[in-house]
Structure 1
Amino acid sequence: MTRVLVVDDDFMVARIHRGFVDRVAGFEVVGTAQTGAEAESLVAELRPDLVLLDLYLPDRFGLDVVARLRAAGETCDVLVITAAKEADSVRAAVRHGVVGYLLKPFTFADLELRLQAYAAERARSLSGDDLTQAEIDAAFTPPGVARPATVTLPKGLSAETAEAVERALRDSAATMSATECAEAVGISRVSARRYLEHFVTAGRVEVSLRYGATGRPERRYRSN
């Protein structure tokens, strides 16, 4: 079983999240916390495998909690669950090595998909044997996503935002429009469109057209 700690300052929201997690096979909630300090204490006490972490906590910002956990030597994984859609928050979360970033409000299916992907990634964890370069590369690649050759980003595009855009596509259960991607990452629609079209050209993303009753067809994107 994957042991989960739920951290949210709203006890009713925490209860809902706990109920969601308990419905996913292979996961169990071992505790809940409403503050950053309580989360740090429970991580040390309960040793969860995964922390579902809200960023807006009453005593400290959620990513500061992650930094304090790492400084204390805690190795639990962190899945951010938050209403914070600012690009700076997403970029900071990527730098802190979180395994996912899920925007509130969300459905059970949204969380279930991310937990199942996390479980699959854990199942691919490294063994103690010597590995080839291909096996090492595979360990750093999300399930079902091919690792392409390194591509230089065009001028004006940042590596951090590019990673956030790719993560949003990987985490989406369906195709995304530029507008939906922009909302998920916290950037403008024009910026999202630039990143998405770059990934299409690089072969990392597929694009399809959705035709409506009137007007131009909508471009929809999904990870290869």
Structure 2
Amino acid sequence: MSNIRVVIAEDDLQIAEIQKRFLERIDGYELVGMAHGLQEAEDLVEVLQPELVLLDVQFPTGTGLELLRKLRSCNSAVDVILITAAKEVETLREALHGGVFDYILKPLVFERLQEALHNYQQHLQKLLAMQQLAQTDVDIVLPRHQGSQAAPTETRLPKGVDCLTLDKVKSVFAEAEGSLSAEDVGEMIGASRTTARRYLEYLVSTNEVTAEVSYGTVGRPERRYCSR
């Protein structure tokens, strides 16, 4: 899948720059425009046709929710993640009615944005992989079902295990032939043996990977892992 094209719409120049720098640290995304006003944001969406807008709520001339309604009334296919200081429940309710993909409260934390964009990537990949809908496919894609489907594997991860690194470890076993040591996996994902082993033992606990002890040629025991 090609890079996801993003427009940042934020009236505060410093916050917009922070979002830009955060976005540059996340693979799979390309910043195609930055707008500091509502009309500018609307023009960029119309001209550049991005897949995603990181949208603030409060602007000097109006609100991001007004822009959201306008985009939906024009049948714009762009997805929206709101990044805002607005903590009113009514603002969230209106954002959900407008079909936002996510709602992030300021001050923006890199890990929260990274999680949202990772989820968005997975969302697009699921849609691209579908050819004909079954109810189970709909249940996986619609956000209202993620609490019972996707959330447990992400929100209940133990301390020291994040979903992005975990996906990297899983992808190693998707392509691997035979068993691997923690050192092997660490080299493949660019992490230490200790870090790799932490993720591997988590996968053992979820029955996604099996572990066995190998004594090798010099008699030194080594724990090796293999996908089920």
TM-score, structure 1 as length reference = 0.63
Q: CA deviation at 1:51?
A: 0.2
Deviation at 1:114, TM superposition (A): 0.9
Partner Cα distance (1:10, 1:139) in 2: 33
CA contact (8 A) 1:54 1:80 kept: yes
What are the Cα deviations for residues 64-116 of structure 1, in whole angstroms up to 9, with x where unaligned?
A: 10111112221100000000001110111111110011011022112111111
TM-score by length of 2: 0.62
The one-letter code matched in structure 1 to 2:23 is: V
Q: Map of 1:1-224 to 2, 5 A cutoff?
A: 1-125=3-127, 129-141=131-143, 145-146=147-148
Larger Rg: 2
Q: Which residue of 2 aligns with 1:208?
A: none
Any conservation in 1 of the 2:9–2:55 contact (CA below 8 Å)? yes
Partners in 1 of 2:24 and 2:7 — Cα distance? Answer: 11
Higher relative contact order (CA 8 A, sep 6+): 1
Alignment RMSD (CA, Å): 2.7
Rounded Cα–Cα distance in structure 1 between residues aligned with 2:18 and 2:130: 38
Q: 5+ residue gaps in structure 2?
A: 159-228
How many positions carry a matched residue from both structures?
A: 155
Partner Cα distance (2:126, 2:34) in 1? 28
Percent identity of paired positions between Structure 1 and Structure 2: 35
Per-residue CA deviation, residues 39-65 of structure 1 (Å, 9 max, x unaligned), is 110000111110000000111111110
Change (3 A) 1:4 1:67: same
